Each structure stands twice: as C-alpha cells, then as structure tokens.
Structure 1
C-alpha cells in the first residue's frame, strides 16, 4: 500500500499520476467488456439458446432449413453456423479514451441482423434468434466489473494490465 507523508504529496500523486490515466482506464475497461460480449455472441452461434432472457428459448430450425443445410453439405442442426462467415463478421468499435466511452458490438452482415431480429415476410418467416442481446445480458455484470477493476487499478496508481481479461466468457 502506498503511503504519503502529507496531503500535498497525495494531491500531487492524484493530479500527476491518477487523473491523467483515468480516461485511458475507462476506455480499456469498456473495450474489454465489448470484446467479452463479442466473443460470447460468436460462441453461442450454432446452439439453441434457453434461459430467462427475452426471446428465449430459440425456436428449432424448420424442416425445410434442415433439408437445405444437408443438401448443401452442412451439419443439419447448427442454427446460424454454416461456413462461419457470419460468426466471424461480428466485431466491436469503441470510442476514444475519456470519462464517457461508448462501445458498439455487432455485424455489418445483413444475415446476422436478420438472424438477430427475425423476418416476417409472407413465405419467408424467420424467428428472431437474439444472440447479441443475450450475450450482452449475460455478460453485463462481468463487463461492468471489468471497468471497475481497471479503474481501481488506476486509482491505486497501478498500471493497466497488458492483456484483456477474457476468462469466463458466458455464452
């Protein structure tokens, strides 16, 4: 534990070392949380989801979809997972360092968007499979705790860790 001989040396420590590091720490914590949620989303694809989150349990694949998957040489019953292209299209973007940092997690692949929210068209119905929403809900506390951890490190004058904490990703 760090000790200070007087209040002035403590104030200098806060001003010189801690306050300049806070924006970077917030960015790092939010970025690590976004990575956690993206990885959880990717890990869920190909599985049926069940749980208390909105939109669950996910619907089974239609017989016509299973037949098409088999005809095309894919496994019969892995929702959202054929070649892996959709899974690999997920990414994250994080705004710059600051005390207010925003993260965006998702995919620019239209198939991923339709997979998430579903489609209601005559003859082309697809039920929603809220992979990203579920991953975010299941990892919200861990992401928030990760931000808190890096802030505590910074406030105590310790450097940020070199590697993001990606243990215990909850798919």
Structure 2
C-alpha cells in the first residue's frame, strides 16, 4: 500500500483506528445486553452456588406468607410484581458498560443485610457468562483490527451472538 503524502497515511490510519473502535463498542454493547438478560433470568428462581457466590437461602415463611396474601407467585425469590426484574437495564458509553437496576432495593438483595441473606443477581450473571463476554469483546476487537473480516474459528472467537 502506497500513500502520496503523510496526510494520506495519517488519514488511512485514523480510519482504521475508528473502524476498530466501532467494532469494540459493538462487542461491549452485545456483552452488556447478554448480562442484562442473564441477570433478569436470575429473578424468581433459587440460584445454586457458583464461583464465590453461595446458593440462595430459602425465603422465610413469613415472607412467603406476605407474598401469598398479596397474590404473588410462591417460591419465587425476588419476584413479586416483576418491577424489580424489569428495572434491570444496561448502558454503554465510551469504553464502559454498566448493567444494574434502578430499584434501590436491589443493592440489599445483591449484597444482603443483617436481616436479609444475599441473593446476588449481577455477580452470578457475570460469573456464568464471563467466558462468553470475553469472547464477544475479543471477537469485536480482533474483527476491528482485521477490517471487519470474519475471524477464523481456530482463534476461539467463533461464538453465536458475535456483534457483526
């Protein structure tokens, strides 16, 4: 590849860099969507221990009685109306992705309190999907560096849900 001037070379390099960054951002968005969906799926089901996270403790009988009196589904931790589950969202900006909840009670459930055992949703979602998140972002980065061309499966980035 030849360039007529240093300005042409600089322009070419800038286009390549921007193209690579766009791919990485798409991978980051895909990873955030995956984690949001996984976190939402945790709500309403007892979770087994995974990695550093303990299994969810059963709901107290008094909690189950209160839920039943209000017509909420039995044996479904963190699920009553579905509002807390539906408050889980994601946002990507620049090189950061955030997956979280706008419901202030969610922090108490994630980490527990003196009276409420922890029932983590976000930590377990990331732990369950970490390999796929790494592949999504890795696929996007490598794809961006090679101009958006498909990546050979031998590199380990051949996963469903890749951003391109």
| TM-score, length basis structure 2 | 0.80
Q: Deviations over 1:6-32 (max 9, x none)?
A: x548xx697265322112112111111
CA contact (8 A) 2:59 2:77 kept: yes
Q: Which runs of 4+ in 1 moved over 6 A?
A: none
SS across alignment from 1:68? helix
CA contact (8 A) 2:36 2:99 kept: yes
Report the more deviating stretch, 35-44 or 52-61: 52-61
Report the more deviating stretch, 30-39 or 18-27: 18-27
CA contact (8 A) 1:17 1:157 kept: no
Matched, 1:156 2:146: yes
Question: Alignment partner for residue 52 of structure 2, among 33, 51, 54?
Answer: 54
Structure 2: stretches of 5+ with no match in the other structure:
4-8, 151-159
After superposition, residues 2-21 of structure 1 pair within 5 angstroms as 7-8=1-2, 15=13, 17-21=15-19
Structure-2 separation of matches of 1:61 and 1:23? 46
Matched, 1:31 2:29: yes
* Count of residue correspondences: 148
Report the more deviating stretch, 85-94 or 14-23: 14-23
SS across alignment from 1:147? helix
Matched, 1:165 2:161: yes
Structure 1: stretches of 5+ with no match in the other structure:
1-6, 167-171
SS across alignment from 1:94? strand
Two-structure CA RMSD over aligned residues (Å): 2.5
Q: Which residue of 1 aligns with 2:97?
A: 103
Cα deviation, residue 88, structure 1: 0.6
| TM-score, length basis structure 1 | 0.77
SS across alignment from 2:49? coil
CA contact (8 A) 2:50 2:124 kept: no
Cα deviation, residue 139, structure 1: 1.0
